[in-house]
A and B are shown apart, each in its own frame.
Chain A
Amino acid sequence: MTQPLEVTIHFEHVHYEKNSSFILKDVTGDFYKGKITTIVGPSGAGKTTVLKMCNGLISPTSGDIIIDGKNINEFSPTSLRQYVGIALQNAPLIRGTVYDNLALPMTLQNKLLSEKKAISTLEDVSLDMNILYRDVHNLSGGQKQKVSIARTLMNQPKILLLDEITSALDPTSTNEIEQLILSINRKYNVTIIWITHNLGQAKRVGDYTWVMMGGELVESGESSLLDHSTNKRIQQFVEGKA
């Protein structure tokens, strides 16, 4: 018997306006606990805005975001950001070694990261322990992205937000990262929201998909909707005409 879906993040009529133009228009939708939801849509659709809102980096102009039954504003900003981790586009790393980057979330809480824990985290993201003290400038794109994901995982988030984490990677590294995220999802039952430009990837890794266009949530549902949508705009987008 399949378990009923549990909503972990709910968007209720969320609007976001910046410099007098709407970035998000009346977005209402759900992300489900323990599932991977991919967000697809053309540039300027408001995808990153949705992710940054879940992590509390920006707030809606109007509307509500409910996380595990609690309004997002009831969380303190720091505890929300530890609960909902985000791996940002381009995998920004601080200057220094891989260890310095992995230790960053702990340093921010005035804690120390043990070498043992750092190594086990590297293993979690399929990185060799020998790179622990390597300067981050000497890492490949795929390694940088894995370090960025590992760093986000240091806070043990219940929800993991991924912003186009494979857009700059070659097919082999992309495949490695996909497998890594799937294993993190299974191993820790982490809810994952993953923005991707790659529709094949959205279908491969996603249980559910949000299709966003021009700041609106056009359709959401199981990822197979990308193949069977009756919505003309989505059909055009899937065919590469939007």
Chain B
Amino acid sequence: MTYTSLALTLAFVLIPLILSKTLKLGLEKDTIIATVRSVIQLFFVGYVLKFVFDSESFFYIILMVLLMITVATLNARKKGKNIKGITWKIAFTLIVIEIVTQGILIGFQIIPPTAQYIIPISGMLLGNSMVLSILFLNRFTAEIEANVEIIELILSLGGTPKQAIHNQLINAIKTSVIPTIESQKTIGLVQLPGMMSGQIIGGADPVQAVQFQLLILFGLLTTATLSSILIGFLSYPTLFNERMQFITHNLSQKNND
């Protein structure tokens, strides 16, 4: 694609701008900011990737992956700021996911250990893990807030923290993993996945593109399950103290009559 062609695609930005202006939707400013940011960010990443690919240095690959983990952690932690040490718990989870997925992919020689494979695949899997972590933390916090009475009841009957929070933890894990499983059931029937489409447009053999897409989909199943389970089991102990008391003050303000 030439830069002239790319410039012509700005027509897709002009259409919503005109519609927003005409219908007074008030979305013009956000649309322009989003467009400018995406152009700058993607070109920046494009040039960085080009540099890393050309350098063929493993150091830069690790640096890129660490950068992805840092940004994903900072983004996801906002949803769990009430959980003590959530930043490190998310970072640890993402590191484990990276090691497990790349360990399998490179260890079984499914992909070569080069930047061209490691970085895009890491980006997709870590990005998905970040979204899953946010989904999980949202759901987990909501489950706890809605069930403070039951959690306290189980503790009051002599239950352990793990027993007290078991249902909320399992519900939150299931709720955050189910969309990944469900979306895989209809994949290819409703829409072609982005990576596969990109490869096909780039001239790759469609069957080859499908193979890589399947690799990503199977990887997503692992990242979805691992990220919510790891964050869940790392997080719940921080909601209790050593006397097995539920520390509610971060989550909700209960009546203290």
Contact = CB atoms under 8 A, between A and B. Distances in A.
Interface of A: 18-19, 23, 43-49, 55-59, 73, 77-79, 81-82, 85-86, 88, 90, 92, 94, 104-105, 108-109, 151-152, 155
B99 interface: no
Contact of A19 (B152, B249, B257): B249
Interface stretch (B47-55, B85-93, B180-188, B238-246): B238-246
A109 B155 CA distance: 12
Most buried by A among B157, B160, B244: B157
Contacts of B154: 104, 108
Interface string B207-249: 0000000000000000000000000000000000001111001
A152 B157 contact: yes
A19 B255 CA distance: 12
A91 to B, nearest CB: 9
B243 A55 contact: no
A88 B152 contact: yes
Contacts of A88: 149, 152-153, 156
A152 B157 CA distance: 7
Interface size of B as a range: 20 to 34
9 contacts: A44-B256, A46-B256, A47-B257, A56-B244, A78-B160, A81-B155, A85-B156, A108-B160, A155-B158
B249 A43 contact: no
B157 A49 contact: no
Contacts of B163: 108
A92 B243 contact: no
Interface in B131-168: 149-150, 152-160, 163
A44 B257 CA distance: 4
B153 A58 contact: no
B257 A77 contact: no
Contacts of A92: 149-150, 152-153
A49 B150 contact: no
Interface of B: 149-150, 152-160, 163, 243-246, 249, 255-257
Most buried by B among A23, A81, A85, A152: A81
B154 to A, nearest CB: 7
A48 B257 CA distance: 5
B159 A108 contact: yes
Given A77-B244, A90-B149, A92-B149, 6 more contacts: A18-B256, A46-B257, A57-B156, A88-B149, A92-B152, A108-B157
A77 B164 CA distance: 13
A47 B256 CA distance: 9
A26 to B, nearest CB: 17
B152 to A, nearest CB: 6
Contacts of B153: 88, 92, 94
Nearest to B246: A57
Contact of A18 (B158, B159, B243, B249): B249
Contacts of B158: 78-79, 81-82, 105, 108-109, 155
A135 B152 CA distance: 22
B256 to A, nearest CB: 5
- 8 A-B pairs with least C-beta separation: A77-B244, A92-B149, A81-B158, A108-B159, A82-B158, A78-B158, A105-B157, A48-B257
Nearest to B149: A92
A56 B245 contact: yes
Contacts of A105: 157-158
A53 to B, nearest CB: 10
Contacts of A49: 256-257
Contacts of B156: 55, 57, 81, 85-86, 88
